[in-house]
Amino acid sequence: NDRLVLASPETATDQNYADIERVIAHEYFHNWTGNRITCRDWFQLCLKEGLTVFRDQEFTSDVRSQAVKRIEDVRTLRARQYPEDQGPLAHPVRPASYIEINNFYTPTVYEKGAELCRMMQTLIGKPAFRKAMDLYFVRHDGEAATVEDFVRCMADASGRDFTQFFRWYEQAGTPVVEVETKHDAATQTFELTVSQSTPPTPGQTEKLPQHIPLALGLVDPRGNDLPLHLEGVGALNAPLVELTSARQVYRFTGIAQRPVLSLNRGFSAPVIVRSDAKAADHLFLMGRDSDGFNRWESAQSLARDLFCAAATGLRDATPLPDARPFAEALGHTLSDPKADVAFKALMLELPSEADIAARIGTDVNSDHVREGRNALRSSIARVLLPLLENAYAVTAEAGGYRADTRGTGRRSMRFAALSLIAAADTERGLYLARAELAQPANMTIEIGALQAVLATSAAETLLEQFLARHRDDHLLVDKWLALSAQIPLPGASARVEALTTHPLFTWTTPNRVYALVGGLGSNLAGFHAADGEGYRVVADAIIRLNAINPQVAARMATGFRSWRQFDPARRAQAERQMRRVVETPGLSPDVFEIITRTLN
């Protein structure tokens, strides 16, 4: 796949450079975790892939920004693996069976598998984890190992019992952690009641409690982390509690004033946290939490609630929620001289339509999701407009292109600001984007400017101009197709269907298909259009690809995995198209497995 090997500033974006660095590192790390120590059988695939993903994540954290990398990895996990874990395709990190081995290479095996390695490191500490890895390499070099062999090394090197933890490898689903807090000023205690549950998944109706490491902090009104003294234990050596039962109570002593709880810091466990935190708590943590991940998480949680309220408000004919307090808190982050510029850019990237739909959960109207998000995002942008204009101005390109942390952070901030400027003032956004596109110094500028104005009526014309400049570069044609499919305006399915007949599109090149058909699948209101045309176009593509490349067809079929989230009319349309796929003569095992599991 030359997309993950070839790069120049004129053809590759900052993200492309980061992806190449990550993938090359991943394949290099496979020398030990995959080659010298390989898997005994296919069921142990997470042993090499989950572990190697964890290693490449740690590598990128070391050479780039640790907080930014962690946020990016969690966004990927939530976008790709959470829907799998919460839908009809849910399976354990180490699956117990399969129909087609090509369908074994899943986000659960890779991304969730990496999170299990990270949790073990959190539980035993980095020095013990390194000792366990060294033991694993010595003990199993030249062997075909199992997950049990790997976990046994963790236990032997640390002296910890991982019997319960092993359930993470055997149980599917995303655990839900519910939190209640109580501060008693008279006794100066802060009580934390935590419970866990994992919803039923296909083939696993009963779930046992998991071993969940929860990194935490209690933040005082000045933004300082309080010392943690746990009743019955004393001072904690690490700011961490371990949830092993269905319900546990933790009582911290010496807490004179009510603190704000910062839980699951650094995303210490791949769970869904539901707490009794108020909006004021999230606003406080956005600006004061010492944990970068939870500053971002607080902003995302608030924004998701606002966007969900906007979408349901359209259904119920109620006004938009007041987003000014959130916008002002976001403004404080933008003005923070200590905050990393790449971190500020991530704070400006508000929850996606898919995030909002997942949060609503049932009877989703994708048109309401898009309309509500657009309206509220514009409202937030208008409050921030002076700060956005300043952020855009001070991040202008200076000197030659460098794909280092400083350069990529500056460009990510510039185009995150431009995207919101366009949301606040379309004409101003278009003026700035056209200026960027007139003489772009690198591909990051071109793609950033195009993405910023993709929701405007000028998008198709600007994309035509992009193609005219780059039609001889196949990697850039892929970018053009992907952007064309993702235009968040009505008529997405018709645009994509028309582009399948374009001379530069070919069904036999997987990256072309991923860009165009996969792009439609990621366009929420386009794929889940009320008339069912998005479903039909993707189903047509799956049927056609089934005879050409069943693996690519199966990957496109996973786009239907969240169909039960939507309203009855959309569910009926999606089911009709999936049944049409199932009835296709000569259907491959790859596609059959995905579609039948999704339907059933």
What are 107-127's pLDDT values in tens digits?
999 999 999 999 999 999 999
Residue 68, both tokens: 């930014």
Question: Residues 556, 594: contact at Cβ < 8 Å?
Answer: no
pLDDT at 398: 84
Residue 578, both tokens: 């999936």
pLDDT at 103: 82
Q: What is the DSSP string of 109-141?
A: IIIIHHHHHHHHHHHH-HHHHHHHHHHHHHHHT
The conformation of residue 216, written as its DSSP 8-state character, comes to: E
pLDDT at 98: 81
pLDDT at 237: 87
Question: Secondary structure of 253-304 in the HEC alphabet?
Answer: ECCCCCCEEEECHHHCCCCEEEECCCHHHHHHHHHHCCCHHHHHHHHHHHHH
Looking at the DSSP bridge assignments, the partners of residue 561 are none
Other CB atoms within a 10 A radius of the CB of residue 341 amount to 21
Q: What's domain 31-170's architecture?
A: Orthogonal Bundle (1.10)
Active site residue 27: yes
Residue 226, both tokens: 């309080």
Q: What is the DSSP string of 421-441?
A: HHHH-HHHHHHHHHHHHHS-S
Q: What angle do CA 182, 185, 186 make, to 5 degrees?
A: 120
Q: In whole angstroms, what is the distance from residue 107 CA to residue 49 CA?
A: 10
Q: In whole angstroms, what is the distance from residue 545 CA to residue 510 CA?
A: 10
Handedness of CA 378, 380, 385, 387 (dihedral sign): negative
Question: Does the domain formed by 277-424 have CATH 1.10.1240.10?
Answer: no
Residue 255, both tokens: 């807490």
Residue 491, both tokens: 């008529």
Exposure b/e, 355-370, CB count within 10 A at least 16 = b: bbbbbbeeebbbbbbb
Q: In whole angstroms, what is the distance from residue 109 CA to residue 205 CA?
A: 21
0.85 surpassed by pTM: yes
Question: Residues 567, 364: contact at Cβ < 8 Å?
Answer: yes
Question: Residues 598, 562: contact at Cβ < 8 Å?
Answer: no
What are 458-471's pLDDT values in tens digits?
999 999 999 999 99
Q: Which residues contact 110 (CB under 8 A, 6 or more apart)?
A: 46, 49, 50, 53
Question: Residues 48, 57: contact at Cβ < 8 Å?
Answer: no
pLDDT at 318: 95
Residue 353, both tokens: 């339509």
Query: Quick one: angle between helices 292-316 and 366-394, nearest 10?
Result: 140
Q: What is the DSSP string of 481-504?
A: HHHHHT--SS-HHHHHHHHTTSTT
Q: Please tell me the chain's helix, strand, coil percentages from 3-state DSSP, rounded to the nearest 5.
A: 60, 10, 30
pLDDT at 201: 96
Look at domain 176-275 and name its CATH class: mainly beta
| Strand ranges inside 147-246, DSSP E | 176-184, 189-197, 212-219, 229-230, 234-235, 240-243
Give me the residues of the chain with pLDDT under 50, please. none
User: How many Cα atoms occupy the beta-carbon half-sphere of 597 within 13 Å?
Assistant: 26
Q: Which residue has the tokens 């990237």?
A: 349
Q: Which residue has the tokens 């539901």?
A: 274
At 231, is the secondary structure helix, strand, or coil?
A: coil
Q: Annotated catalytic residue: which of 10, 27, 242, 389?
A: 27
Question: Residues 169, 150: contact at Cβ < 8 Å?
Answer: no
pLDDT at 417: 99
